[in-house]
Chain A
Amino acid sequence: MFSFKLSKYEAINSLKMFFWWWLALAGTGLLFASVFNSLKSQSNDLDKVMQALNPQILQAFNISPSGYLNTVESFLSGQFASVFSLSGAILSIIIGVGLIGAKIENKTIVFWLSKNISRLGLYFTKFLTQSLVFTLANLLIAICMYFSFYFLSNQKEISKQYFIVLFLACNSLFVTMLSFGMFLGLIFNRSKAQAIGISIVALSWVLNALSTLGDYPNWAKYISVFYFLDLTQIRDKYEIDPYKLLILGAVSIVFLIAGILIFRRKNIYA
């Protein structure tokens, strides 16, 4: 079912692409780490400004109501985690659509299917390899960020657990979105699939943010994939709810199976 040979070529291709993603985020990490100390020195003034704002609005953007700039962890939660998870989810959709659907559209998939690789093997290998590449890229970003803050900030102890939990949770979200993107790519053409996928991710993010505001229904968060990422819990307790991770995993498997079933019956050259 899994083709190591195909995985090798797929990984080489993906790593080339992820190099820029990794470089951009690692650069962002370095930038954040280098400005952290000067921002922290003004944290009392900033805290006053923040506390004047509606706490629910701060909550929507994952900003701690107090001590926002006191620690590296709360600084990253407010400045980085929310944007990172949203941009990563959008990137995952785009990559997911391109893995199989776009290859059917531009007919490059004929090359793979004319080799000793089954349709199931092709789909599964591409998904798994891409997920591993995501994990590797995220791991590199986490390590790079940790050491950037470790060496450049004046905070004596930085929680390793925070970094592990944040990047593990984001990675789970990205893999789920990858699986969703692959599924969409089989149903719609490339541009339509990307537009639908990105719209759903953006809407999901907004729903999750709005659900924290008093005027909006609390149930809305349950239909948002970002609720299962739970950045607030990561920010406050450096923990992640394993059930929420399991739900993300289950959604990912559902889309993976649905995608495989469609791909097995798909006319490639009609």
Chain B
Amino acid sequence: MLLKTSQLTKDFGGNKGVFDLTLELNPGEIVGFLGPNGVGKSTTLGMLSGLIIPSKGSFEVFDQPVNHLKLHRFNPNIGILMSDVAFDPDLKVKQIFKQSQDLLGKKLDKTWQDLAKYLDLDLEKKFSSLSLGNKKKVGLVQAIMHKPKLLIMDEPTSGLDPLIQQKFQSLVSQMAKNGTGVILSSHALTEVESICTRIIMIKNGKIILQDATKNIKEQALKIFILPAVTPLIEANLKLLDGVVKIQTGPNETKLWTTKRAPVLLYLSQRAITEFYLERATLEEMFLQFYR
């Protein structure tokens, strides 16, 4: 196992922080942390990177128990990218990569040059002269250039243009195929939906949902879209088991439900056959959890 936490807690007081976080990460898995700002995603990733000291709980990396003072020993096999990418502003991009490789004790190879070319990054520019997106690219290359077995990334694609986001997704997917375990946080729900094998949703510092992306999608709310119904039918539909929400507009009625069967039965009884069914997107689920 690449990573295992048990009851990991960071209590900032006033009910702020992360509480009793228990999770595991296996090789080849991509785990996405979801949640609005301030719920504890960055704190969690900060603890896993050794930057934030947990109040209690424990964690293991590569099947060995560690704490924030010993984690550096594993850093040659860990890639870290935090949301605020910051390097010495006077260094050129290539100097950052060379220093990074040198300090990790890795043999200098050409991976960083290939990655920089793939992400369209100018190696001769000083870090201070780069745009926000290009700074993010530097952080990204620096985190993955040493081919880590464990990759921890906090909002890795914020500030990147869609083309680079796509390149990032294929890079991460390829790394996962080669056995790297990835744990990332993101606000880009479509990105999480498309690349993550497992999703963790956090609310008030606690995990409220943790499951495979496939299962979450299957269990997601079902949406019935049918011609606009009368107020009486709308009232009856609301009473059905599993119905969460119903919305009637001038032309159509939208109904969100966790159970398909009672709605289908009612519609057949009423001879309503013109309808179609959709599955709620992750974004809709996200809004359902956090509203």
Interface residues in chain A, defined as those with a beta carbon under 8 Å from any beta carbon in chain B: 3, 5-6, 9, 13, 106-108, 110-121, 264-270
Contact = CB atoms under 8 A, between A and B. Distances in A.
21 contacts: A6-B103, A107-B82, A107-B84, A110-B51, A110-B82, A113-B51, A114-B78, A114-B80, A114-B143, A115-B75, A115-B104, A116-B103, A117-B103, A118-B70, A118-B72, A119-B69, A268-B51, A269-B43, A269-B49, A269-B52, A269-B82
Given A107-B84, A114-B80, A9 B51 contact: no
A13 B88 contact: yes
A265 B53 contact: yes
Contacts of A120: 69
A9 B78 CA distance: 22
Contact of A116 (B42, B82, B96, B104): B104
Q: How large is the interface on B (under 10, 10 to 19, 20 to 34, 35 or more residues)?
A: 20 to 34
Given A110-B80, A119-B68, A264-B69, 16 more contacts: A5-B102, A5-B103, A13-B88, A108-B86, A111-B96, A113-B50, A114-B75, A115-B75, A117-B103, A118-B69, A120-B69, A265-B53, A268-B51, A269-B52, A270-B12, A270-B46
B99 interface: yes
Nearest to B81: A114
- 8 smallest CB-CB distances across A and B, nearest first, come from A115-B103, A269-B46, A114-B80, A269-B51, A268-B51, A107-B86, A108-B86, A267-B52
Contacts, number: 77
Contacts of B84: 107
Nearest to A122: B72
Contacts of A116: 72-73, 75-76, 103-105
Nearest to A266: B53
A10 to B, nearest CB: 11
B118 interface: no
